[in-house]
Structure 1
Amino acid sequence: MGKIKEIVIGADYQVTVRFDNNHSVTIDMNTKLHTARFSELRNRQVFNAARTDGKAIHWPGGISIAVSEIMEIITK
């Protein structure tokens, strides 16, 4: 996959990731919310504040998920 072009935050802790090669994937973050790393994202305001730099999705508090990890999530 290429660089992240855009992210769209959806209902029920879904994130649609659009790449610069016109592919997109939707990841379900629900199962991740119960881990120590992503637990702060249960706060909907924090979750909705997601941004991208093209290489990863970043949330407030230093929480991030890289393109390679996104690909691991969707292939499981």
Structure 2
Amino acid sequence: MPAISMFYGIIIRMQSEKGGKHNIPHLHAVYDEHEVVMDFTGKILEGSFPSKQLTLLTAWTALHEEVKIMLRPTAISVTVQKDYTLKVIFDNGETKIFDVKPYIKGSWYSQLKNFSYFSLAKADGFTVIWPDGQDICPDELYYNSMPI
């Protein structure tokens, strides 16, 4: 688990836990023999921290909003729809519809015009992929999908 910040003896780490026990964006922090798992609202999911260090950690999360962006939800399930859209379930529990039609152009993505091939889409725990390597940028998949 890589360290993303260290200050005043506090070490903050993040890791991907697809299907893990916390299954929401969170961080792990260590201070001496104390360890805490905390979401980005400041809620402690597991462990404990001394009061002063917890205050510093909470302030750090408020100052580092960009960390949340790195934790964009990822695709855990996909269902192909007949209109060349994908019903995608993300690891944060959201279900959205992504329209693939604008992406089906050029030699690489033109294979997706064949609905039998398009139907082979699967979620890999990160994004949506097809057997010959076509995929959708994870950011586009999440941010350009419509909630249902």
Please tell me the TM-score bracket, short chain as reference.
0.7 to 0.9
Could you tell me which of 137, 143, 147 is aligned with 1:66?
Answer: 137
Aligned to 1:39: 110
Greater per-residue strand proportion: 1
Aligned to 2:35: none
Q: Which amino acid aligns with 2:113?
A: R
Could you tell me which of 16, 21, 26 is aligned with 2:97?
Answer: 26
Greater per-residue helix proportion: 1
CA contact (8 A) 2:86 2:99 kept: yes
Instruction: Return closer, same or farther for 1:57/1:33 CA change in 2, 3 Å cut-off.
Output: same
From the CA coordinates, give the structure whose radius of gyration is larger.
2
Q: Which has the higher relative contact order, 1 or 2, with Cα contacts under 8 A spaced 6 or more apart?
A: 1
Deviation for aligned residue 1:49: 0.5
Aligned to 1:7: 78
Q: Quote the Cα distance in structure 2 between the aligned partners of 1:36 and 1:72.
A: 25
Deviation for aligned residue 1:74: 3.4
Q: Hey, which bits of structure 1, 4+ residues long, moved more than 4 A?
A: none
Instruction: Return closer, same or farther for 1:65/1:48 CA change in 2, 3 Å cut-off.
Output: same
Q: Quote the Cα distance in structure 1 between the aligned partners of 2:142 and 2:74.
A: 12
Aligned to 1:49: 120
Aligned-pair Cα RMSD in Å:
1.8
Number of residue-to-residue matches in the alignment: 75
In percent, how many aligned pairs have the same letter?
25
SS of the residue 1:11 aligns to = coil
Gaps of 5+ in 1: none
Q: Which amino acid aligns with 2:133?
A: G
CA contact (8 A) 1:55 1:66 kept: no
Q: Quote the Cα distance in structure 2 between the aligned partners of 1:10 and 1:3.
A: 19
TM (normalized to structure 1)? 0.82
